[in-house]
């Protein structure tokens, strides 16, 4: 069986590539299973500091595989989205082209999204008689209500610039600049403390769901635990001594 998703690791970055251009990288059972497995591998690799999710062809992901095999019971679509959301490493989507329906769920589950300016997006579900139900769980955490209402209900195509305004894309730039923008972001991430980043990702997901009182309680407990950690002690000592922290690549270069 030909692999549909590839994993490459280099310089602290795990690049996961959807490679099923013949069906526009649709979410077949095989693609979902392989993607989830590669995310899990990268998430548990201590040498990996950031995960980049990209694709081959002209379409990043067209959503559900309506013409081929449906996802198996092994890895469900919610499982896949949770694997991206809960990965203890920053996940950057480096888009290569159009994104439709369930593909937008993948995008909304990433922490940072870089898109070529000519990429297009659409919640096409309502045009084939279904609803953007599961992807709504993640997209509604990103999108302002009026943008969600418009694009969910009309199914219209919208641009990368409009996706930025709608909270789905972080950076829209010329296509030839996407790789450089992603490389710059991963370079910055490699300077951060791994444990602190993992905790920050958790807070980004969990804090909005708490009341103010519960949010402050969770934040205070997390802050106290982190300040007492070996990682924080090393980072604060490096700051005071005006030298790179142990996890910063500059510490190994100096």
pLDDT tens, position by position, 139-174: 999 999 999 999 999 999 999 999 999 999 999 999
Residue 252 confidence (pLDDT): 77
How far from 177 is each of 116, 181, 195, CA to CA, in Å?
8, 6, 30
Helix extents (H) in the chain: 29-43, 77-86, 102-108, 133-142, 145-154, 160-165, 178-189, 194-206, 212-227, 230-240, 249-253
How far is C-alpha 27 from the chain's CA centre?
16
Average pLDDT of span 117-128: 97
Q: Which residues are catalytic?
A: 125
Give phi and psi for 91, each to the nearest 5: -110, 120
Task: Tell me where in the chain the CATH 3.90.226.10 domain(s) lie.
Answer: 5-189
- The answer regarding whether domain 5-189 maps to CATH 3.90.226.10 reads yes
One of 1.20.210.10, 3.40.50.970, 1.10.12.10, 1.20.140.90 is the CATH number of 194-253, namely 1.10.12.10
Residue 89 confidence (pLDDT): 97
pLDDT digits (tens, 9 = 90+) for 49-102: 999 999 999 999 999 988 765 545 578 999 999 999 999 999 999 999 999 999
Task: Tell me where in the chain the CATH 1.10.12.10 domain(s) lie.
Answer: 194-253
Residue 69 confidence (pLDDT): 52
């Amino acid at each position: 069986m030909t692999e549909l998703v590839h994993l490459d690791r280099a310089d602290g970055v795990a690049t996961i590539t959807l490679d099923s251009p013949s069906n526009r990288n649709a979410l077949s059972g095989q693609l979902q299973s392989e993607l989830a497995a590669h995310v899990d591998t990268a998430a548990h690799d201590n040498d990996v500091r950031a995960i980049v999710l990209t694709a081959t062809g002209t379409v990043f992901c067209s959503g559900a595989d309506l013409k081929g095999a449906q996802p198996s019971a092994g890895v469900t679509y919610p499982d896949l989205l949770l694997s991206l959301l809960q990965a203890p490493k920053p996940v950057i989507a480096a888009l290569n082209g159009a994104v439709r329906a369930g593909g937008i769920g993948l995008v909304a589950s990433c922490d940072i999204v870089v898109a070529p300016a000519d990429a297009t997006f659409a919640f096409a579900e309502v045009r084939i008689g279904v609803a953007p139900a599961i992807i709504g769980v993640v997209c509604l955490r990103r999108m302002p209500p009026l943008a969600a209402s418009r694009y969910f209900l009309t199914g219209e195509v919208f641009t990368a610039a409009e996706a930025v305004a709608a909270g789905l894309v972080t950076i829209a730039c010329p296509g030839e600049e996407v790789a450089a923008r992603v490389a710059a972001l991963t370079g910055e991430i490699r300077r951060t403390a791994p444990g602190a980043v993992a905790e920050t990702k958790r807070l980004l997901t969990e804090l909005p769901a708490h009341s103010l009182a519960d949010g402050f309680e969770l934040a205070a407990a997390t802050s106290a635990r982190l300040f007492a950690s070996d990682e924080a002690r090393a980072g604060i000592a490096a700051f005071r001594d005006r030298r790179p922290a142990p996890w910063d690549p500059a510490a190994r270069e100096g």
